Amino acid sequence: MSDRRFSRRTALGLTAGLGLAATVSPSLAFGAAPAPAALSAYPKGQRPRMLNVFDESTLSLPERTLATTLQGLMARRGGESLYLNLPTLGYQHWLDGLVSQYGVRTRTGDLWKTVQRSGVTGYVLFRTGTPSVNVATTLAGVTGAVAIEESLEALAIQHGLRKVLDVRDKDDRWVFETYWPRLRHDVAVEQRADIPERLRDYVTMAGTFAFFDGNSEFRAEVVDALDDDGTVIGWGDASAGEDAFIGVNSATGVKALPADHARNLSVLSGITEDRLSQHVPAQPPTPDPDAHYVSFLITDGDNIQWALGDFPTDPRWFGSPRRGEVDLGWGISPSLIDLAPSVMRWFYDQSRKDRWVVGPSGGGYMYPSRYPAAALDKHTASLARAMGRSDLSVAQIIDFDAFENTRLWSSYLKRPEIDGLIYLEYSRYDGLKGKVVWSEGKPVISARTMLWEGLDGADEASVTAELNAATRNPFSTAGYSIVVWHAWSKSVDNVLSVVDGLAPHVKVVPPDTLVRMVGKHARP
């Protein structure tokens, strides 16, 4: 692993390395980027009191970069900040919740008036279409200056801002080589240069490194420089498959949080909840000796951007008008207890017959079999704390040919907060057909079948027939099935079409209930 002597930036307000010490004083108005709070695994903004609300569509692309870097800086102090709303997506729910549950006040935003009230006096100049947008976003966190695209420079000067740095000819490697000792080493953000606003508020608030370089040697160098069990928030180049970069992360002991389209994390993280509880009780039934028990669980629950975006509103998913007709299992990232606790609270409050488990592969997306042992133990300890705070007891795992490696699962299951694991073979998810292994006296249950458009045996009729013919014996592991339904090709309606065709002896329970039943009643 890389030299970790500078494992935590301690003075974001310092000017060393800028070559412009006399011109970087805007940082002093905002102080250092926050360290994680006592309970938090992630840096958090300060609590917002007043939000200047903008419909994102009313801002030009350069204005969005300005707005989000300003948002990140203001979130360091709390009080007044701004919020980018997309009213057709979940962001309206999150804004409404901040108002109704946390007493946040709102007003219609005026961008340049907000800049003037903020106390920011400087800007970092970048050029659209070049890596300099990531450079400016990163250095906005270093200098306390906003990122200004060159087309807005005249307006910035007109409103009293002065240039701190011109980075139009700089790239991510230059930032890494020049500023890495002064940036966070527990979190980095992977974001394409052609996305002007998303995640940039969090980069600036947290004082972290924003980069994107495909699946290059430089990218591997960056993730290797992160701390053990560090986090890359965002998403990499999946053109050759997501394992092309998740595998590199995993080998260096780093996890990913898919979030490249997430907005407002600097504001949402400013809310603190020490603990949240699911409102639908988990009450395992007394097993019926002539029954087969089944759970339906959606894929991709680790996806932060999806949870914040259209997942809560789209009728294919949590926004389905038919949700609540049957027990359903949903995946969620435990990072939300820190990054967006009001969002997690909303999902729990809105649940009817819904239960939540941790998405792959715990605290973030990685392959446990490729994680260094020390990093995995650090990961599962942090995961267990977050699961305890979030009332979550089961985690999904995605990996390659690792199912029988019970040493891996011991790192998870020795934690009292974790009742069991649901294992998905990378391809296919149901390749192990419901097989169960045990570690620390707890089950690791593979998916028996799945709903997935275009795959053999994964259509509604095939899944229904397989479940109706399955073993009726809750005292055997064969008496239980987990059906994984593919979020991007199937919907709640598809799940309910299977449920409608089940024989009376096939009983639907939530996935955490099924895991507890297997652990209590089935014989290893």
Give the pLDDT score at 35.
Answer: 65
Q: What are residue 264's phi and psi, to 5 degrees? A: 65, 20
Structure tokens at 393: 């007891």
Beta bridge partners of residue 254, listed in sequence order: 230
Radius of gyration, CA atoms only, the chain: 24
Q: How far is CA 23 from the centre of its chain?
A: 36
Per-residue confidence (pLDDT) for residue 393, from 0 to 100: 98
Sorting pLDDT into bands at 50, 70 and 90, what band is 353? very high
Instruction: Dump the DSSP string for 202-237.
Output: HHHHHT-EEE--TT-HHHHHHHHHSPTTEEEEE---
Write down the pLDDT at residue 32. 67
147: pLDDT strictly greater than 50: yes
pLDDT at 8 over 50: no
Q: Which amino acid type is present at position 69? A: T
Record the pTM: 0.93
3-state secondary structure of 252: coil
| 442-446/436-439 β-pairing | antiparallel
Q: How many CB atoms lie within 10 A of CB 302?
A: 28
pLDDT reported for residue 37:
61
C-beta separation of 196 from 67 below 8 A:
no
Inform me whether the pLDDT recorded for 156 exceeds 50. yes
What residues contact 479, with CB distance under 8 A and at least 6 apart?
291, 292, 293, 470, 471, 472, 473, 522
pLDDT-derived band at 508, boundaries 50, 70, 90 = very high
Give per-residue burial for 204-223: e unless 16+ CB within 10 Å, then b.
bbbbbbbbbbebeeebbebb
Q: Report the SS3 class of residue 494.
A: helix
The residue-averaged pLDDT of 476-495 equals 98
Three-class HEC string of 161-208: CEEEEECCCCCHHHHHHHHHHHCCCCEEEECCCCCCCCCHHHHHHHCC
Least confident of 22-26, 30-34, 68-72: 22-26
Cβ atoms of residues 514 and 295 within 8 Å: yes
Task: Tell me the average pLDDT across 372-379.
Answer: 98
Mean pLDDT of 279-301: 93
Q: Which of 312, 297, 301, 367 is nearest to 336 (CA)?
A: 301
Residue 403 has pLDDT above 50, yes or no: yes
Mean pLDDT confidence for 189-217: 97
**What confidence category does residue 439 fall into, taking pLDDT thresholds of 50, 70 and 90?**
very high
pLDDT band with cut points at 50, 70 and 90 for residue 30: low
Express each pLDDT in 412-430 by its tens digit.
999 999 999 999 999 899 9
Q: How many CA atoms lie within 13 A of 411 on its CB side?
A: 21
pLDDT of 322 strictly over 60: yes
Domains of the chain as residue ranges with CATH: 48-269 (no CATH), 292-522 (3.20.20.490)
Region 239-250 average pLDDT: 96
For the beta carbon of residue 55, count every other beta carbon within 10 angstroms: 12
Q: State how far Cα 192 lies from the chain centre.
A: 17
3-state secondary structure of 38: coil
For the chain, give the percent of residues with pLDDT over 90.
Answer: 90
